[in-house]
Structure 1
């Protein structure tokens, strides 16, 4: 392959982001990233991770892309944001994400109105345009979520928003709602990329395995769903952790990471 062909391939990855030519699966975990160290076995389909924060721990594994998130617009998060993002970009990160569930004000989330979020997005996220793909705030799948997103996109008219993160929680047997919600979110986003940065189906282990085995091929086949990450990698989480206490994939984690792309 010539140098020009390589350059065109590289540019295509950034200028035509609607279809991911690689596996889409990610891993959410807290810092330090002990639970995501052992996910690069032969055939692993995970290639990115995030921690609901912008700080990339020195132990963050090299085989994963770290995605900085500006969890909220308070000084606790903004004071270190620029430095943290620059560090992540210098190591090869190519995406950043906005606030976490700003629509879920009664649940201890970032709780930011659409107008204020648009102002903060312009101040903190937009300066990285041209250096990374920019993600909107991540909404919940409560009734408030898509309404909030619609209002934010209207308030942030003219903003560069490359992808829209969403969350989904419901029963592991509710496939119809899962598929329909993804389609509705895509329409609300104005046709942008969708990242499902948190999703989980509640049920027995076998129901969750069946859920993943059913939805993973569908997710991988949808060009508008660019990335997704099951909630989450923490052995103490009883709702279906991907990782055990030693940071290795659980049975569910093995299905998630090693189901063929």
Structure 2
């Protein structure tokens, strides 16, 4: 089988392979939802609207649940719909929509993933995403990119192989950027560094896919202080890589970027809004 790198290079137009322009600030985003006591984007608006570093958000779907206009909202088609969805079309065509996301972890098989075969995902992109090409920028499916060829996260084969099959089936589609997820320990042990694991996986995704990278979900498993230290280590690196367009730490929820009660930023949340 040809390498994934060669498969991608063979089917992508040169304009899509070009890396993103350097962004000095503003790559950080918010992964949030409306599953809270307010039923909307209050947590995102209250705690992050004053950070110049945080400029966009998404909620694994649409609508935005009243996300503040200081952020760019990025709608996502989470899974394969059963037919044309006028609400999806309306979300993409809403004024201010610049980028769209598609299919959340279709490479995995657990209940929280969109779980689909590569050929079905490719046909879904052709039907529901590609018609908007040229009017908005289209992100490739949001796949797990942990430790290159690991099969430990639920799939019958690695996310890398799933992505290879998907790319081989997506004739007629184009992508403006690639989307990846990453979850591992903050401190893996044996002297290894979670931050090093993370940066090496992001680098590998770019080298493989040859597209600007959005890290739409990532988190290291550990204490609040360990996560803050992790973020303080990796964010300067992310901000300095021209090919990393955006990233969103998981997530705007109590016990994550917020404290357990949802009343204030956690240590990780404070690190996330720092310059």
Paired position in structure 2 for 1:4: none
C-alpha deviation, 1:251, in angstroms: 2.7
Paired position in structure 1 for 2:267: 251
C-alpha deviation, 1:140, in angstroms: 1.5
C-alpha deviation, 1:192, in angstroms: 0.3
Paired position in structure 2 for 1:188: 208
Deviation readout 1:40-86 (Å, 9 max, x if unpaired) = 22x531000000002222x2201000000000012399452112222
C-alpha deviation, 1:18, in angstroms: 4.0
Matched, 1:30 2:33: yes
Gap change, CA 1:241 and 1:151, over 3 Å in 2: same
Gap change, CA 1:243 and 1:226, over 3 Å in 2: farther
More helix by share: 1
Separation (CA, whole Å) in 2 of partners of 1:99 and 1:109:
9
Paired position in structure 1 for 2:4: none
Question: Tell me, what secondary structure is at the counterpart of 1:253?
Answer: helix
Gap change, CA 1:177 and 1:62, over 3 Å in 2: same
TM-score, length-scaled by structure 1: 0.83
Residue among 139, 145, 148 paired with 1:141: 145
Stretch deviating more after TM superposition (249-258 or 207-216): 249-258
Paired position in structure 2 for 1:80: 87
Kept after mapping to 2: 8 A contact 1:56/1:84: no
Question: Tell me, what secondary structure is at the counterpart of 1:168?
Answer: strand
Paired position in structure 1 for 2:173: 159
Kept after mapping to 1: 8 A contact 2:225/2:267: no
Matched, 1:226 2:235: no
Unaligned runs of 5+ in 1: 1-14
- How many aligned positions are there? 236
Alignment of 1:106-117 (within 5 A): 106-117=110-121
Matched, 1:211 2:230: yes
Separation (CA, whole Å) in 2 of partners of 1:252 and 1:125:
34
Aligned-pair RMSD on alpha carbons? 2.1
Separation (CA, whole Å) in 2 of partners of 1:245 and 1:51:
21
Gap change, CA 1:255 and 1:46, over 3 Å in 2: same
Separation (CA, whole Å) in 2 of partners of 1:55 and 1:221:
32
Paired position in structure 1 for 2:78: 71
Unaligned runs of 5+ in 2: 1-17, 35-39, 151-157, 188-193
Question: Tell me, what secondary structure is at the counterpart of 1:227?
Answer: strand
TM-score, length-scaled by structure 2: 0.79
